[in-house]
Amino acid sequence: MAKYSLNVNGVQREVDVDPTTPVLWVLRDHLDLVGTKYGCGIAQCGACTVHLNDTAVRSCQLPVSAVGNQALTTIEGLSEHGDHPVQQAWIEKDVPQCGYCQAGQIMSASALLKSNPNPSDEEIDAVMHGNICRCGTYTRIKAAIKTAANS
Amino acid sequence: MAIAKIAYGRRAFIKNVAYGGGGMMIGFSWLASCELSPEQVKKMPKEWFTINGYLKIGENGLVTIQSPNPEIGQNVKTSMPMIVAEELDTDWDHVIVEQAPLNTDLFKRQLAGGSQSIRQGWQSLRMAGATARQMLILAAAQTWEVPASEITTAAGMIYHEASGKKTDYGAMASIAATIPVPEEVELKEVKDFKIIGTSRKNVDGSKIVTGKPLFGIDYKKEAMLTAMVVHPPAFGLKLKSMDDSPIKNMPGIRAVFPIQTHVEGYNIGAFDMNAFNDLAVIVGDSTWEVMQAKKALQVTWEDTTDQVLNMDMFGRKMDVRFPAGKENTSTHQQIMETMGAKKAKTVRKDGNPDAAFRNASKIIERSYSCPFLAHNTMEPMNFFADVTEDQATLVGPIQTPEIMERSVSNRLGIPVEKIDIQMTRMGGGFGRRLYGHFLTEAAVISQQMKAPVKLIYSREDDMTQGTYRPAYHAYYRAALDADNNLIGFHVRAGGIPESPLAANRFPAGAIDNYWAEEWTVDSNITVGAFRAPRSNFIAGAEQAFLDEVAEAAGKDPIEFRLSLLDKAKQQPVGDNNDYDAARYAGVLELVKEKAHTNNDPNVFRGIAAYFCHNSYVANVLDMVMEKGKPVVQKVYCAIDCGIVVNPDAATNLAEGGVVDGIGHAMYSAITFNNGVPEQNNFDKYRLIRHDEAPKEIEVHFVKNEIDPTGLGEPPFPPIMGALANALYRATGRRHYNQPFITDKPLMG
């Protein structure tokens, strides 16, 4: 076990966990931030996507010991009032069906738009390829990303 | 105006058996912690008045509506309350929705499955709203001393035109709560609907996009432990012994022990189905610690013997066989080909098929197959259980809470009244969570630990434990006469371990000489209902076959189907046909109109239509070739599911069905090597991804006033046929074996 001080959603949080513990489980089990979802544990589904600084990463593959002083942002911290343009676009397009993968989709999409404010269809596909939606809301997700890009 | 007697869920309308008059609902402490925003709290009434089991009204006119059924992503948590609100005649903005508690006295069929929630809830949901509206009218009549018949309502307001009096529902709620429940109520005419038929956003939408704890896997309780199970690595194996010494002293590990999910003598029901009854259990403080211990646990397995389970299949006792041995996909394929080539059990025979085939000028013969599939809900199986000496609280994702309540009561030896199952939003269902063994496992673990426990399956546990979509096979034969009329049709379908045949569906009834046979072969690989069970294979096979028959007959694929349906309408063969030929033709006509004629030589079009789960769906799938690869450019989907409650959400569900169908037909499979599932996570199990989805999907609904018939499943099966047919036109190859991505073309 080891103590870590993590910058999560702009707040320093202390945890005492095994250094190999993935950020996913630190968030879910130790910090009560369960918006970040477990889907596969091997970085194949994207449900656990968070931002490390401004980059989308799969938190199931990111050991807590590797975070250091870098800023972690989860779905709970993407915006203060749930009004990030991507979140708003998701509501406008009424994207979710079951909703389980959507936090990861939103975190991937918001990181994409930060680095590329007007992505082409191909650029959206290339980034979003890593996020599985089992309900098949892909066409709505793409529409919502374009709505957010235009807002 | 329709007058309807209250016949559905009568007890739901008797006050005081519902949750207490004032106060919020109990339970869901963790999940409810984020239920309301500060703004919403400000709007909350000081007092709630319970009108019936479905709804309560605050003194300020706010209405809380209980959504009785489990939410798996089919959006019933929004659409079921919409139906109540419609008949209540309130404004949708005045409505708060809550997931109802499991209460079989109050609510009928609290189950998510068979595309039945809206269909079977339709009457009772309307009654709930209409009786409440009537009680509010009676309350106003009493207060104003005017005849109730002169009172009207609109958007949560009550009016008496003659006297000019008006008030709102909130002001009358306390009196309405004291009014006897009316014996009869008026239901609205469809033309007067103001909420049903309009698009309303998902009531959980803002919680979903902000990551609020909505799902079972998110549930927490103080002092809760985390449990995981270890099941055999192969079908045909069972737990023999385990050595906990390498892990019992690992950090955060509390206990390691075996459990039996069902014990000797238990009357196993259809939804208790599990492949691995004896499990190794690891309980610890955190998920990661338990996962580490799981890797290090030493388990010895042994071969199973032939098993016969006398199961209670929906009230009918049936012997279900699970033969010993470790099965292989290559053997399954051989078995299916062999079975498809020999005589099976005749289920239906019309006319004289033998003669038709003898006299045919042209015979077309084809076989189709599909693999086992895992449901792969994005939220893996999990459940929270807190079992004490005399009661149990269970919280999590389950499609069959009322069935599992009895099951777990039996297993724990705790009366059903002392079992509280709370329904969470589910991260997908697709049929997987009809089978609640994981709930029972969690309960057994909690009972043994004497502590609250959350059981979580890893993705690998989830994907390799069975409950799969069966592997199916269908052999088809069609006879054409010299004028290319379809004079004979033969289908022989089967599967491991279940047949996909629906002998009385189209084209039965449309062909004079028709023969349907079926077969099954036992397996120790467990199967379960998977979105549109059986239809999810047979629709695609049949629609791909009909495409070839139309081609051989030199006919347009839509016109060919329409002419068969015309025959089924005018002179149906047999009297057991379980579809409505006019509605079937209706969706084909609609999709034909919407998709227009395809005049682009670079667009390759596939057609399919199917009827299942009481609804009709027709597809046109347009494919283009990009860099030598087939790409689905656009899908047109025409649906007749009766009245559409929430059009945009229904469109979303249909779009999902299309994507899901293309994905599974194209990419997905569970294969077996020596009993071991060869895919255990998303690196090996291929699910459709963003870039593989259609670029555009257009959904159209047939407008009619038929009571809703169901939508979760019907859009899923036919698209597989449309895909196969478009692939043929785009690539020149017909695909017979799913997944098409690995199919070896047999011809073309």
Q: Mutate which of A40, A72, A78 to test chain B, going by most B C-beta atoms within 10 A?
A: A40
Contact B699, B640 (CB under 8 A): no
In this predicted model, what pLDDT tens digit does every residue of B144-193 receive, in sequence order? 999 999 999 999 999 999 999 999 999 999 999 999 999 889 899 999 99
pLDDT of residue B12: 54
Positive or negative torsion for Cα B410, B415, B420, B425 = positive
Q: What is the DSSP letter of B706?
A: P
Least confident window among B28-42, B525-539, B692-706: B28-42
Please tell me which of the candidates B291, B428, B695 has its beta carbon nearest to residue A134.
B428
Note the pLDDT of residue B86. 98
* Same domain, yes or no: B565 and B625: yes
Q: For residue B210, list chain A residues with Cβ-Cβ distance below 8 A.
A: 35, 75-76, 78, 82, 87
The candidate with the shortest Cα–Cα distance to B207, out of B27, B350, B35, is B35
**To the nearest whole number, what is the mean pLDDT of chain B?**
93
Contact A102 B653 (CB under 8 A): no
Residues B148 and B205 in one domain: yes
Question: pLDDT tens digits for B470-506?
Answer: 999 999 999 999 999 999 999 999 999 999 999 999 9
Residues of B in contact with A76 (CB under 8 A): 210-211
Residue B748 belongs to a domain = no
Domain total in chain B: 3
CA nearest to B39 within chain A:
A81
Residues B385, B455 contacting (CB under 8 angstroms): yes
The answer to ipTM > 0.95 is yes
CB contact under 8 A, A137 and B656: yes
Residue B405 is part of a domain; what is its CATH number?
Answer: 3.30.365.10
B221, B196: one domain: no
Question: All domains of chain A, ordered by start, with CATH?
Answer: 2-77 (3.10.20.30), 85-149 (1.10.150.120)
Q: Using 50, 70 and 90 to split pLDDT, how confident is the model at B33?
A: very low
Query: How much is the average pLDDT of B313-331?
Result: 93
Percent of chain B with pLDDT over 70: 94
The answer to whether A28 faces chain B, any CB pair under 8 Å, is yes
B337 lies in some domain = no
Domain end position, chosen among B160, B186, B209: B209
Nearest-CA neighbor of B425 among B393, B398, B453? Answer: B398
Q: What is the mean pLDDT of residues A45-52?
A: 98
What pLDDT was estimated at residue B650?
98
Question: CB pairs below 8 Å between A and B: how many?
Answer: 193
Average pLDDT over residues B522-544: 98
Q: Nearest 5 degrees, angle CA B154-CA B158-CA B159? A: 100
pLDDT in tens, B411-470: 999 999 999 999 999 999 999 999 999 999 999 999 999 999 999 999 999 999 999 999
Where a domain ends, among B209, B237, B268? B209
Closest by Cβ to B689, choosing from A32, A39, A132: A132
pLDDT at residue number B514: 98
Give the closest of A25, A36, A40 to B286, CB-based. A25
User: What does DSSP say about strands B604-612 and B672-673: parallel, antiparallel, or unpaired?
Assistant: unpaired
B499 shares a domain with B386: no
Shared domain check, B362 and B300? no
Q: Tokens 């969690």 appear where?
A: B442
**What residues in A contact B213, CB-CB < 8 Å?**
34-35
Are B145 and B73 part of one and the same domain?
yes
- Domain-terminating residue out of B168, B184, B209: B209
Pairwise CA distance, residues B744 & B506, whole Å: 29
**B97 and B68 in one domain?**
yes
pTM above 0.90, yes or no: yes
The bridge status of strand B453-456 relative to strand B382-387 is antiparallel
Residue B78 lies in a domain: yes
Partner B contacted by A120 (CB < 8 A): no
Burial of B410 (0-12, 13-18, 19+ CB in 10 A): middle
Confidence check: pLDDT of B341 > 60: yes
E strands in B214-252: 225-230, 237-243
The confidence band for B743, taking pLDDT boundaries of 50, 70 and 90, is confident
Check residue B16 and give its pLDDT.
37
A22-26, B101-105, B420-424: least confidently modelled range: B101-105
Residues B601 and B709 in one domain: yes
**Peptide bond before residue B647 is cis, with ω within 30 degrees of 0:** no
pLDDT of residue B3: 56
A38 and chain B in contact, CB less than 8 A: yes
Q: Is A90 on the interface with B (CB under 8 A)?
A: yes
For the cut 90, the answer to whether the pLDDT of residue B23 exceeds it is: no
Asked whether the predicted pLDDT for residue A137 surpasses 60, the reply is yes
pLDDT of B108 reads 83
CB B514 within 8 A of CB B353: yes
Strand partners, B316: B313
Q: Is the pLDDT of residue B245 over 70?
A: yes
Contact between chains at A22 and B288 (C-beta distance less than 8 A): yes
Contact call for A99 and B380, based on CB within 8 A = no
Segments of B63-179 assigned E as strands: 63-67, 95-99, 151-154, 157-160, 165-168
Distance (Å, whole) CA B661 – CA B721: 9
Q: Give how far A11 is from chain B: nearest CA, Å.
A: 17
Interface test with A, best of B75, B204, B206, B210 (most A CBs within 10 A): B210
* Type of residue at B643: I
Structural domain harbouring B105: 2-209
pLDDT at B75: 96
User: Which residues of chain A neighbour B202 with C-beta distances below 8 Å?
Assistant: 94, 96, 99
- Round to whole Å and give the CA distance between B534 and A113: 42
- When mean pLDDT is compared across B602-606, B625-629, B721-725, the lowest value belongs to B625-629
Q: What tokens appear for B500 in the block?
A: 């996909």
% of chain B residues with pLDDT over 90: 89
The verdict on B558 and B640 lying in the same domain is yes
Torsions phi, psi for B354 (to 5 deg): -55, -50
User: How do beta strands B95-99 and B63-67 pair?
Assistant: parallel
Residue B657: pLDDT band (50, 70, 90) is very high
Q: Is A36 on the interface with B (CB under 8 A)?
A: yes
B316 belongs to a structural domain: no
B44 and B117 in a single domain? The answer is yes
pLDDT at position B747, please? 36
In this predicted model, what pLDDT tens digit does every residue of B660-677 receive, in sequence order? Answer: 999 999 999 999 999 999
Residue B747: HSE in the Cβ half-sphere, 13 Å Cα cutoff: 6
Return the DSSP state at B588. Answer: H
pLDDT at B17 over 60: no
Contacts of A133 in chain B (CB under 8 A): 378
CA distance linking residue B320 with residue B331, whole number of Å: 21
Assess whether B565 and B592 both reside in one domain.
Answer: yes
B699 and B627 in a common domain: yes
pLDDT band at B39 (very low <50, low <70, confident <90, very high): low
**Is there a domain that residue B334 lies in?**
no
Domain-embedded: residue B200: yes
Give the residue-averaged pLDDT of A138-144.
98
A47 touches chain B (CB under 8 A): yes
The answer as to whether B195 is a domain residue is yes
A6 in Cβ contact with A91 (< 8 Å): no
